């Protein structure tokens, strides 16, 4: 799942009253609200209160962030809220809500402002017969987060389609377009993910005007479409199938389905080095048997394992720890930690720690959380 914020900016901690804040931001174009529950802005639906400044234009966003930085006030950027785990105490600073939603389609690409709903961007490209993003259908969150996390699904990553990213440099105040080579893309990461120095304002993708999908590389999806490895299919057909597969795993937002009250995949798939691999595989075999096939995938830095597979084999079944728990693993997908309606951030954290410790103890593999945490140390 996606959001536009790599992490909370905690370099400054000056606290101001709401009246002072309104005066400070009077000329920026932001709309200021007091004591907003951040649980209202996140798909996990947890998080305490904060002052919020909503920015409906890129100009307002730039001016607001610059004004807060100059005043020494801590900033937390939020857009789709789908990759955030915020402490129950809230955020002691100003939450800047990225409300920019513009989408501009071209003959061979799309430009989307940072706050644009990601699935709506994908849907627009599919409707226009532009291929490339269809495998990324149904992912909750904002367009601006896609390069931050190098978002990927069903064999496609943002890095392979990105043309450029428009950034605000918070140190210099410059606004410019950055090329993909500058962003240090890796598996679910980029240089933007671990730094507060830049704010994503817009993204541009190069797409295929033929109406055909990106080459299908993900076995489950290719099989569902009756396609061989590397074959293509019409973009609308691929989008429909991706949405069906994701919905079956509780990975398409539905307010009535608590399995979707989550941050999506809570842990990234671990990558072990070739030196570590024999030890890890031996540990897995000792617990599940030599005859069980372990899903492995080649990765640039070693071999990628399936976090969901490890979680389940470590004894954490779908729905763990049971029907009465406020925070549980999804009943459809063990990689999602879900809020069953009354969970707090503390409940989510306790479940995450239990699962991570169990996988570490059983297999010697440390799972890394994917969501951005605010005021929380996992």
Catalytic residues: 188, 265, 370
Nearest-angstrom CA–CA distance, 92 and 30: 19
C-alpha of 264 from chain center: 8
Contacting residues for 103 by C-beta, under 8 A, at least 6 apart: 110, 111, 112, 113, 116, 120, 121, 124, 143
Nearest-angstrom CA–CA distance, 87 and 349: 9
- Across-strand partners of 213? none
Instruction: Tell me the C-alpha to C-alpha distance, in Å, between residue 288 and each of 2, 285, 305.
Output: 34, 5, 15
Q: How many CA atoms lie within 13 A of 149 on its CB side?
A: 26
Q: Yes or no: say if 232 and 213 are a contact pair by the CB < 8 Å rule.
A: yes
Number of CB atoms found within 10 A of residue 35's CB: 11
Nearest-angstrom CA–CA distance, 358 and 362: 6
Among the listed residues 363, 358, 365, 355, the one whose alpha carbon sits nearest the alpha carbon of residue 283: 363
C-alpha of 65 from chain center: 22
Q: Which tokens sit at 223?
A: 């099989």
Residue 296, classified by CB atoms within 10 Å of its CB into exposed (0-12), middle (13-18) or buried (19+), is middle
């Amino acid at each position: 799942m996606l959001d536009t914020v790599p992490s909370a900016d905690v370099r400054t901690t000056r606290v101001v009253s709401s009246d002072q804040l309104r005066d400070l931001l009077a000329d920026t174009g932001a709309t200021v609200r007091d004591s907003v529950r951040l649980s209202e802005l996140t798909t996990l639906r947890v998080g305490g209160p904060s002052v919020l400044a909503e920015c409906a234009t890129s100009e307002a966003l730039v001016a607001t962030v610059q004004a807060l930085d100059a005043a020494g006030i801590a900033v937390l950027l939020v857009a789709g809220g789908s990759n955030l785990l915020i402490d129950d105490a809230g955020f002691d600073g100003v939450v800047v809500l990225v409300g920019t939603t513009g989408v501009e389609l071209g003959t061979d690409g799309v430009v989307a402002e940072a706050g644009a709903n990601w699935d709506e961007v994908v849907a627009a490209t599919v409707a226009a017969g532009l291929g490339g993003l269809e495998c990324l259908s149904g992912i909750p969150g904002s367009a601006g987060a896609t390069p931050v996390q190098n978002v990927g699904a069903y064999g496609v990553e943002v890095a392979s389609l990105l043309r450029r990213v428009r950034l605000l440099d918070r140190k210099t105040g410059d606004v410019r377009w950055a090329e993909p080579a500058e962003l240090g893309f890796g598996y679910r990461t980029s240089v933007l993910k671990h730094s507060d120095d830049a704010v994503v304002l817009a993204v541009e993708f190069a797409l295929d005007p033929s109406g055909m999908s990106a080459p299908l590389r993900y076995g489950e999806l290719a099989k569902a479409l009756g396609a061989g490895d590397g074959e293509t299919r019409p973009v609308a057909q691929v989008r429909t199938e991706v949405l069906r597969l994701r919905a079956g795993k509780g990975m398409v937002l539905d307010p009535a389905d608590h399995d979707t009250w989550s941050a999506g995949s809570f842990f990234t798939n671990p990558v072990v080095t070739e030196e570590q691999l024999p030890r890890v595989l031996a540990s897995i075999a000792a617990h599940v048997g030599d005859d069980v096939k372990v899903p492995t995938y080649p990765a640039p830095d070693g071999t990628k394992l399936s976090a969901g597979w490890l979680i389940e084999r470590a004894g954490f079944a779908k729905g763990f720890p049971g029907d009465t728990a406020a925070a549980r693993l999804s009943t459809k997908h063990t990689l999602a930690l879900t809020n069953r309606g009354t969970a707090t951030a503390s409940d989510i954290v306790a479940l995450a720690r239990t699962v991570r410790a169990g996988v570490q103890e059983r297999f010697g593999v440390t799972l890394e959380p994917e969501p951005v945490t605010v005021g929380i140390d996992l």
